[in-house]
């Protein structure tokens, strides 16, 4: 399992196109992502804005991934990811 940025993921997928599973976990919206980060209270104003900007940029690459999971509700998103991974591992 790799946890890498979108450009790195696209590169790895290109190197191993038939043997990879890629999941893009997307927030319901950039505004919702910003609200969630603000509610945690763990980010400075600058780091929060940098994370929101990076997420907005990365979302533009989601069509390069095998699956997109919209994280509206964490337990639902986790269940979706688990199902996708389990099905992939059966192959």
Band of pLDDT at residue 7, cut at 50, 70 and 90: confident
Mean pLDDT of the chain: 92
Condensed to tens digits (0 to 9), the pLDDT of residues 26-70 reads: 999 999 999 999 999 999 999 999 999 999 999 999 999 999 999
- Quote the pLDDT of residue 50: 94
Domain boundaries, the chain: 6-90
Is the model's pTM score more than 0.95? Answer: no
Q: Report the candidate in 64, 58, 74, 60 with the shortest Cα–Cα distance to residue 22.
A: 64
CATH code, 6-90 = 3.40.50.300
2 has a pLDDT exceeding 70: no
C-alpha neighbours within 13 Å on the C-beta side of residue 6: 17
Q: Report the candidate in 64, 91, 62, 67 with the shortest Cα–Cα distance to residue 81.
A: 67
Write the DSSP symbol of residue 69.
Answer: E
Q: How far is CA 90 from the centre of its chain?
A: 23
């Amino acid at each position: 399992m790799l946890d890498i940025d979108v450009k790195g993921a696209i590169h790895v997928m290109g190197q191993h196109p038939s043997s990879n599973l890629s999941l893009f976990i997307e927030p319901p919206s950039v505004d919702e992502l910003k609200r969630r980060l603000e509610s945690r209270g763990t980010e400075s104003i600058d780091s929060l804005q940098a994370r929101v900007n990076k997420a907005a940029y990365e979302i533009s690459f989601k069509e390069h991934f095998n699956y997109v999971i919209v994280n509206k509700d964490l337990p639902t998103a986790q269940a979706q990811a688990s199902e996708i991974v389990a099905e992939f591992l059966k192959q």
